[in-house]
Amino acid sequence: MVPEEIRQKVEALRKEIRHHSYLYYVKDSPEISDYEFDHMYRALVDLEKEYPEVVTPDSPTQRVGGKASDDFRKVRFRKPMLSLANAFSADELRDFDRRVREGLGTDKVEYITELKIDGLSMNLIYENGRLVQGLTRGDGRVGEDVTANVKTIHTIPLYIENAPPYMEVRGEVYMPRKSFIALNEERDEAGIMPFANCRNAAAGSLRQLDPHVTAARNLAFFAYALGDIQGLEIHSQEELLKQLEIFHFQVNPNYRKWDSIEGVIGGVNEWELKRHDLGYDTDGMVIKVNDFAQQSSLGATVKDPKWAMAYKYPPEEAETTVERIIVTMGRTGVLTPSADLAPVHLAGTTVKRATLHNMDFIHEKDIRVGDHVIIYKAGEIIPEISKVLTDKRTGKEEIFEMPDTCPICGDPVQRIEGEAAYRCVNPECGGVVREKLIHFSSRDAMDIEGMGPSVVDSLLAAHLVNDPGDFYTLKQEDIEGIERMGEKSASNLVAAIADSKGRGLAKLLFGLGVRFLGAKGAELIAHRFRTLDRVIAAGVDEIQETEGIGKVIAGSLYDYLHDVKNLTIINKLKNAGVLMEEVVQETEGRAFEGEMVVLTGKLSSMGRREAGDIIKRQGGDVQSSVTNKTTLVVAGEDAGSKLEKARAKGITVIDEETFLARAGVPRQ
């Protein structure tokens, strides 16, 4: 028998963890540190291990649970998931409005507009508040059971308090752009064909047989509709969206109510450009009659509701030409082709280069030097070629072939069986060594200020470094002897190297350049194991138990940490005094609590990196660009487009003096 006080403690922990997960993943406004949350979560894990009788399917510890079904069992919906008719012009929206008013026999109609998220439609079934099934849309009447994978998505609650006995919540599973870019970078390095867009990446991630892989993909979910429901009355779309928020679902905040179709058209036009500033892909706007009684009166065709319409934005594309194809090397030796393009303006920037990923991609699209091509921005960020305009070929175009030998070391280039990538497999290749050293010292890794690519090149040319451990044996007189490094520069670099020793386990793991292990994965491992010695002592299965870490990452990390050459480098770093434990950053105040801050322009008293650290230590978060979540902009000298965008959005802007005063930092 489980003591009652244990049951109560377990339930209290679950309730607290659900609350803080909601604040962190849905509201993006955490109240406690990651360290405090991890301790709370670990306490629950320990109790459930000691008393397995208390484990329930809706416990926060069960997000990554059993294996997905090999055939993704088909399930019929109680109510079909209808598609939406499309509109491509303002006049088509006016025709939709006319049909609605004629069908209802009244001009008193309110509309709700919502961003059309470019993802995968999902039907979530809750019984007495517990998530029991997650189904893809399928053909609209029969979907696939992907429950094990859906449970890994943190913006989907496993349990809803005060829920009706039965409820189907519908919405869109999507992949944030940052996750999409990181995933494709990993696939490029692994020699795997990248996903074409965020939607395909989300769909592929949900159909994984291993839920750990899905968990590592950082998917998210916006709720916007109900299927079948018992015991809850909702009267309008606006009321529904508010109720879904009460149930702790993530609801896209950019919905709006209108009393005329002309207002709707204005909103549609407004978002055509604004949507590019979001952290996820959208391809249109959904327009719905707000009142559910009116929706019911209008009804539906066999495929589409008569009370809703999807306005589709035209894709942002541009035509240019491929001037040449170049090859660059990554830290794992992968040779990646890229196209140098005739400069062209696309989605707010001038594009001069597009990634070509690998030879399979080039062959599939038949891309040649001299071709006229159409480009777009994958994930609204990465320029990519969508198609070749073969009808514009003159016969002078050149077919590209990957070089037979490494452009750096001259050794043969190999295409590993089962991979799309060509790789230099010489572990001593200067290109691989160079990229690993640059990666180790980069901002997201050990952040050695001043250790840029040109300095690394000079150190390599002088035979002063060969692996990251060598950075920490450098003396000022060594550095003074290399090109463009005087006494002051050398002194600053030595100080920066010494300062980097305290970055902590997460930064170190990422800096080591373990194949497949990104910055986020390194943080998850560091939170779980706390010290590098514990990571080394762990088996593959134990590493994989880390939420968000899949089998491939776990296996790669285990292999790396049990390779004699890599352990030699780690021991060099350890002997040099590099910290091999997790760093828990304590807050120093609450001056920026809850703020999403963008730093722009030049600060005279400190670097932007230092200013960002101050903001984080005082409860804030730092963003790289101005978005709808930005609450504050700190503008230094020569602030540019970010400042203009912040002013256009009505975001609070402060200067350096105000920032220093608020942070309690005296002017130097």
Q: Are 84 and 228 in contact (CB under 8 A)?
A: no
The pair of three-digit structure tokens given for residue 433, joined into one six-digit string: 């060594």
Q: Is 45 exposed, middle or buried (0-12, 13-18, 19+ CB in 10 A)?
A: middle
C-beta of residue 54 within 8 angstroms of C-beta of residue 3? no
Q: What is the DSSP pairing of strand 632-635 with strand 596-600?
A: parallel
Tokens of 275: 């949507």
Q: Distance (Å, rounded) from C-alpha 44 to C-alpha 31?
A: 19
From CA 510, how far away is CA 523, in angstroms rounded? 8
Residues near 1 by beta carbon (within 8 Å), at least 6 away in sequence: none
Per annotation, catalytic residue among 67, 79, 116, 574: 116
Question: Is the separation of the CB atoms in 122 and 135 below 8 Å?
Answer: yes
Output the CA angle 41-621-436, nearest 5 degrees. 85
Specify which residues 664 forms β-bridges with. none
* Burial of 161 from C-beta contacts in 10 A (0-12 / 13-18 / 19+): exposed
DSSP letter at 419 equals -
CA distance 304 to 310: 11
Residue 614 and residue 620 in contact, taking contact as beta carbons nearer than 8 Å: no
User: What is the chain's Cα-based Rg?
Assistant: 27
Beta strands in 92-139 (DSSP E): 111-117, 120-127, 130-136
Please, what's the largest Cα pairwise distance for the chain? Answer: 87
Query: Which residues make beta-bridge pairs with 75?
Result: 143
Does residue 116 carry a catalytic annotation?
yes
Beta-carbon contacts of residue 554 (< 8 Å; ≥ 6 apart): 540, 541, 543, 544, 546
Question: DSSP secondary-structure letter at 53?
Answer: G
Q: Catalytic amino acids?
A: 116
